[in-house]
Chain A
Amino acid sequence: MIGDDRRRAIRWISASAALFVLAGLLLPLAGPSSLDLARAWAGEEPDRSILVQLRVSRTLLGLFGGGALALAGALFQAMLRDALATPYTLGVSTGASLGAVIAIALGWHTVAGVPGVWAGALGGALLVLLLVVSAASKQRHVSAFGLLLAGVATNSVCSALILLVHGLSGMSQSYAISRWLIGGLDAIDYPALSAFIAIVCALAAVVVRQARRWNLLAVGEAWAATRGADVGRLMTMGYLSGSLLAGMTVALTGPIGFIGLVVPHLVRARVSADDRVLMPCAFLLGGVLLASCDALGRVVLSPAEVPAGAVTACIGGPYLIWLVRRRL
């Protein structure tokens, strides 16, 4: 009996990790233009550039971005005790979107050496982060209700502003804004990608280490407090890490939906609701799902590309309906 849970947890996490690695090895091979691995390995162009500069970087962005979104979703579902919470519930992603949309509308190509859209999105995300934290911490302690209220209010203001900016911008900007708001993966240069992966891994480690505390919070704030957890600090920490994970990913990929909702639900239903298993598995499988959706989008209407955000929505929407129907 003893250790049964532990063995099961290790088995599931290892299986998810294996899938994650496998996706990283195989998905770069999928794409509209045929690729000769032998030529790429020998360093011959254009095969080498297509593989290394385009496919591999994009797959890695999908793996770690999807992981960040799924983990942030699982975290917010535990913190807010709401099965329908997503990384976007607490406003950061809408803030990031608003920043990106403004950057597109104003035609900022680069800001301080980075693409203007990233800079705008990061700025928007940080601004919302500060707003929500200061609004929520005006009360004596940060509570799920306070965060939810501040987040939902921020969401609606930012959404309204996005529509306004969108409406006021010209044709070509308007197209770029619509395309960005669907969310999708693009090739990314390696210095930016490695910085992203390093920060995502550090934040994920911080979050997953606290898994037993998220379990307590998922039952209730009073429940967690009377079992020795510092609820106020935990909520602030969780909000900051989850929002940074989501905000950074949205800055690079646009607001890709459903990964943060579907993956934690799937793991909870099929594997375990224990965050010690749920969170690592959600991270790894979220990455696999986003990278796979992106690869699918590359080939399904080739040579046209379907953005990953559209593919995840097409898969996530029906899944959600099926989930709700099964519960009724």
Chain B
Amino acid sequence: MTKRLQVRDVGWSAGSRRILERVSFDVAPGELVALMGRNGAGKSTLLDIVAGLRSSAEGEILLDERSAREWTPTQRARLVSHLPQTVRADLTLTVEQLVLMGRYPHADGWFESAGDRDAAAQAMAECECEAFRGRRVSTLSGGERQRVLLAACLAQRPKLLLLDEPATFLDVDQQLHCFSLLRKQAEDGAACLAVTHDLNLALTFCNRILVLAEGTLARDVSTARALDDPAWLSLFSPRLEIARTPAGRPWVCFQ
């Protein structure tokens, strides 16, 4: 199987402080991968490097087995979408205008085409934000805004989705909806890499969990075998243990 994303020996320093050290992993089409780790472990930095936002990073990123440096910004934006942790809250654009921005790499004209509008409408339906499509983004709640941002990413029709804490601000039902949506994107052939702090969401919906610790990739855990060797949990906190739900799934409990 081809690899959608290959990360090779990626390193990054902020001034004299070393943030990431020789991180390597692959993500294949159809996979939903959680990128986890404690605060300051370098998760967002790594996601930014994969998104092409830090061009001076060491190492190499390959997209569809071609070096990311060889892609033009537009080619890359047609393949990869990035959901930022947050955007400014005082945007006076409407929800629909923001979602339509996802079509930017696909549209050349001054106005979006009917096809672009269809893609945006479908994305808004998937993220359940049609009801407020005409509202200004500045009037939305944090959770509503988060769903609109995800819709803008889906409207881009990416083959690789990079998500920085997609479930922040969402209520429990919307968190489940969000991860189901990502699961479905993966099943339809996309590759998804999501930063999250919720271990149970990751165990329930993701194929693998990448654990960053002190700037290195400490563990690459398959969620199907999470119960085999629970030592990886201690990378998050000494107060965690793993159990089984009545349905037989792994579940993390707090002590």
Contacts and interface: CB of A to CB of B under 8 A. Distances in A.
B24 interface: no
A119 B84 CA distance: 47
Interface string B101-117: 11011000011001001
Given A2-B117, A219-B91, A223-B84, A228 B110 contact: no
A207 B211 CA distance: 45
A226 B87 contact: no
A189 interface: no
A9 B112 CA distance: 13
A225 to B, nearest CB: 6
A112 B53 CA distance: 48
Contacts of A227: 77, 101-102, 104-105, 156
A83 B90 contact: yes
Nearest to A265: B92
A228 B76 contact: yes
Contact of A226 (B53, B110, B117): B53
B97 interface: yes
A157 to B, nearest CB: 29
Given A2-B117, A222-B48, A273-B93, A229 B73 contact: yes
B81 interface: yes
Nearest to A269: B92
Interface string B78-103: 10111010011011111001100110
Given A227-B104, A228-B78, A268 B92 contact: yes
A158 to B, nearest CB: 29
Contact of A2 (B76, B80, B84, B114): B114
Interface residues of A, number: 28
A83 B81 CA distance: 27
A296 B195 CA distance: 59
Interface string A81-102: 1010000000000000000000
B contact patch SS:
mixed
B51 interface: yes
A139 to B, nearest CB: 12
A243 B101 CA distance: 27
B5 to A, nearest CB: 14
B245 interface: no
Contacts of B101: 215-216, 219, 223, 227
A226 B56 contact: no
B250 interface: no
Given A218-B93, A276-B110, A1 B117 contact: yes
Most chain-B CB neighbours within 10 Å: which of A2, A83, A219, A230? A219
B194 to A, nearest CB: 15
Given A273-B92, A276-B111, A228 B104 contact: yes
B91 A218 contact: yes
A220 B105 contact: no
Most chain-B CB neighbours within 10 Å: which of A140, A218, A228? A228
B200 interface: no
A39 interface: no
Most chain-B CB neighbours within 10 Å: which of A6, A227, A230? A227
Contacts of A2: 114, 117
A109 interface: no
A212 interface: yes
Contacts of B93: 215, 218-219, 273-274
A1 B84 CA distance: 30
A323 to B, nearest CB: 12
A108 B97 CA distance: 51
Interface in B39-78: 48, 51-53, 55-56, 73-74, 76-78
A212 B102 CA distance: 11
B238 to A, nearest CB: 35
A264 to B, nearest CB: 11
Given A227-B156, A228-B104, A273-B97, A222 B77 contact: no
B97 A215 contact: yes
Nearest to B94: A273
Contacts of A274: 93, 97
A94 B80 CA distance: 43
B15 to A, nearest CB: 14
Most chain-A CB neighbours within 10 Å: which of B56, B105, B111, B114? B111
Contact of B73 (A1, A6, A225): A225
Interface in A255-284: 268-269, 273-274, 276
A36 interface: no
B111 A226 contact: no
Contact of A228 (B91, B92, B105): B105
Given A211-B110, A227-B77, 18 more contacts: A1-B117, A2-B117, A5-B111, A9-B111, A215-B97, A216-B104, A218-B91, A219-B98, A225-B53, A226-B53, A227-B102, A227-B105, A228-B76, A228-B104, A230-B73, A273-B91, A273-B94, A273-B97
Closest 3 pairs (CB-CB, A-B):
A228-B77, A226-B82, A273-B92
Interface of B: 48, 51-53, 55-56, 73-74, 76-78, 80-82, 84, 87-88, 90-94, 97-98, 101-102, 104-105, 110-111, 114, 117, 136, 156
